[in-house]
Amino acid sequence: LPSARHRGSPGEPRPLFALLSARGPPPAPCWPIECEVIKETIEHIGEGPRQPSPLRPCTGPPPCPQCPSPTGHEWPPATLGEEQGTVVYHLNPAPQGSCFTRARVGGAPGPLSSPAAPLEGPQDTTLLFESRFESGNLQKAVKVGPYEYVLTLRPDLYTAKHTQWFYFRVQNTRRDPLYRFTIANLAKPKSLYGEGMRPLLYSQRDAQSRGVGWRRVGADVRYYRGSEEEPATFCLSWTVRFPHDGDTCFFAHSYPYTYSDLQRYLQALAGDPVCSQYCAVRALCRSLAGNTIYLLTITSPASTAAKRAVVLSARAHPGESGGSWAMRGFLDFLLSAHPDARLLRRLFVFKVVPMLNPDGVVVGNSRCSLAGRDPNRAYGTALRGSFPGVWHLRAMVERVLAEQEVVLYCDFHGHSRKNNIFMYGCDGSRAGTVPRLRQRIFPLMLSKNAPDKFSFPSCKFKVQKSKAGTGRVVMWHMGVSNSYTMEVAFGGSTLGGRSSHFTVEDLKSLGYHLCDTLLDFCDPHPAKFQQCLSEVDVLLRQRLGREPGFSWSDVSPSELES
């Protein structure tokens, strides 16, 4: 790995470029110069229904999600094609092959264009679409029936691919009609929408009058192959009735968590005289667009010399917003007055990067930064100028490792094809028995602490060539033995008698369970560790059909993975 030790100290937390004051709004995000941005501030109340919404597979004609075909392609609904409709919303995308040049607060200068078709009068029932706000993504809407629309998502900026995240506004709603929406250019051949996941809806009127936030909606939800041409595209289709006439509503793939949401949260921390005693908010670096990438250092004020470190990060992939809610829950607990939180702060130094790719989050990308590439494949060869967040995070970890042990590295992500929460770790096939199995103990403990959310059987530990540039693999090679990617399903849980979507509270509770598991894992009394080590040993020997006494170093990662 390229060394960062002799290039000054880029991993050292730097003073904030724009100090987060408790007074006034946080700094506005910077956008690429090509992006138009509406002036309205979009904010949502965070809480939805307390009761999780059930996962409901479609019951349409076969093949359907309850009995999926081997290809995972479902029966398409009877809907008209885009060419037979009227374009009612269209944003001009960034030219293909272009690259990021510069950014400014508020995006493109000058007056805004009018991508939405104007209404012809009060009797016109056409929906008014909008996505030119923070984290928004919708490129085109075509009306193909009185209450039916075919939608196209914008690929990640400066790429021609990665269409998954959507988040857009609709106005001029009618309460009684049944609407159908079909997103026609999704990239992945398999999705949790085929296993009962449903889109999210937010009604502004319900939020204001009843305090109801995001909720799962949609009937006749289908996920199927759209075009036979290559590269293949896939469609998500659902029907819905809006709760009110004349409402302002939003649809989203997952609970949005924007860069401004993070800044408001950090601003509250900066203004809290208690939290500020053990939580330092600094700027790790600036992104390509000039947005601050924040680094939180959390520990008790006592000397840090003998403390071990824990490093956490989230939102390398901007469309995986569940990772931010899990991170929010982690910070809420760690910064609380709970006795376990105090103990954690006394035992460890926490280095937390809550949003590694703010530019991608701001513009509504699914996977990439403004470099047009996946930052979670760039840790091994990261260029400081192209991936500043990744470069500075790795340099910071390198500095910490030179002074103290990093007991845990965990990068929070989202998963679109498997339900539940699980981890990817790193199997050290050259190590002895205990080190070889040790990577499995933290996930096993977490599954015991969150049995209705976390699936140990879904965890994987093989280091594949295609993952060599990920954060967990590079940190592992740098010397962090317990290095993980935490995968949080976009859908929900099928464990512990559940078959329901994750709520915001579910996602935030993961942060608490991570703290609880860290205390179990590092308990000076070895009983819990030894019990889990024995369980892993017995479990793997049973699955492999091996007798006691053989050497784990003779077993390949592929055998263990199978």
Q: How many C-beta neighbours within 10 Å does residue 42 have?
A: 16
184, 257, 510, 530 from 216: Cα distances, Å:
20, 17, 20, 42
CA distance 353 to 338: 23
Q: Are 355 and 323 in contact (CB under 8 A)?
A: no
Q: 76 CB contacts (<8 Å, ≥6 apart)? A: 222, 224, 226, 235, 237
DSSP of 118-167: PP-STT--PPEEE--STT-B--EEEEEETTEEEEEPPPSTTSS------E
Helix H segments across 381-526?
Answer: 388-401, 433-438, 441-449, 471-478, 504-521
Whether the ω angle into residue 199 lies within 30 degrees of 0, i.e. cis, is no
Reference 322, options 517, 487, 455, 498; nearest CA is 487
3-state class (DSSP) for residue 481: coil
Q: 530 CB contacts (<8 Å, ≥6 apart)? A: none
Exposed/middle/buried for residue 500 (C-beta within 10 Å: 0-12, 13-18, 19+): buried
Catalytic residue among 487, 505, 547, 559: 487
Q: 96 CB contacts (<8 Å, ≥6 apart)? A: 160
Confirm whether 487 is a catalytic residue: yes
The secondary structure of residue 55, as a DSSP letter, is: P
Residues catalogued as catalytic: 487
